[in-house]
Amino acid sequence: MNIVDVMKTRRVQRAYANRPVEIDKLRAIVDAGRHAMSARNLQPWNFIVIRDPATLKRLGELCSTGKFIAEAPAAIAILKDTNNTRWADVDCAQAVMNMANAGWSMGLGTCWIGTFEGDQIASLLGIPAGWAVFTVLPFGYRDDKRPPQAKPLKPRAEVVHFEKFGNHQA
């Protein structure tokens, strides 16, 4: 798949096959995150790769809108540098998107988890001062019995303009 096809076919995946994820694929996903753009190239991120089932189960308890992480075979926590506040959220979000697309290109799905107990996750993962949990991404192969659902996109004419707002013809 070329990169645009990856971006256009990716869907959030909240259910995962009962199959381990190879560590080399997780390393490749993290590397895609490391290559994201960042303001002033400050790269205000760290990543923790998690495969321990007990840790994943506990993460499920600490992610109120991502309980499904407990059933994932792997996850990657994205940490943001709390001393780099101006653009750190934007930079980390780009790392997340790179990682989601990289995973999808390798047959792996993920879902952004937005609501979680950050302090308790920091304690669970031994995160030092100066770093905060930005999000935790579960990763796993598709469960064919529970495939990702396509979400409706806003129509192109509603969101795309040419030269001036309201012109829909190029």
Ligand X SMILES: Cc1cc2nc3c(=O)[nH]c(=O)nc-3n(C[C@H](O)[C@H](O)[C@H](O)COP(=O)(O)O)c2cc1C
Q: Which residues contact ligand X by CB under 6 A?
A: 11-12, 14, 65-66, 111-115, 151
**At closest approach, how far in Å is the CB of 102 from ligand X?**
15
**At closest approach, how far in Å is the CB of 96 from ligand X?**
8
- What residues does 48 pair with on adjacent strands? 77
With respect to ligand X, which residue has the nearer C-beta, 144 or 163? Answer: 144
With respect to ligand X, which residue has the nearer C-beta, 74 or 113? Answer: 113
With respect to ligand X, which residue has the nearer C-beta, 74 or 100? Answer: 100
* Rounded CA separation 50/53 (Å): 8
CB contact set of 136 (below 8 Å; sequence gap of 6+): 50, 59, 63, 66, 69, 75, 76, 77, 78, 113, 116, 121
**At closest approach, how far in Å is the CB of 100 from ligand X?**
8
Nearest to 29 by CA among 113, 121, 95, 125: 95
**At closest approach, how far in Å is the CB of 51 from ligand X?**
21
How far is the CA of 39 from the CAs of 30, 45, 94, in angstroms? 19, 12, 11
With respect to ligand X, which residue has the nearer C-beta, 23 or 160? Answer: 160
Q: Which residue minimizes CB distance to ligand X?
A: 114
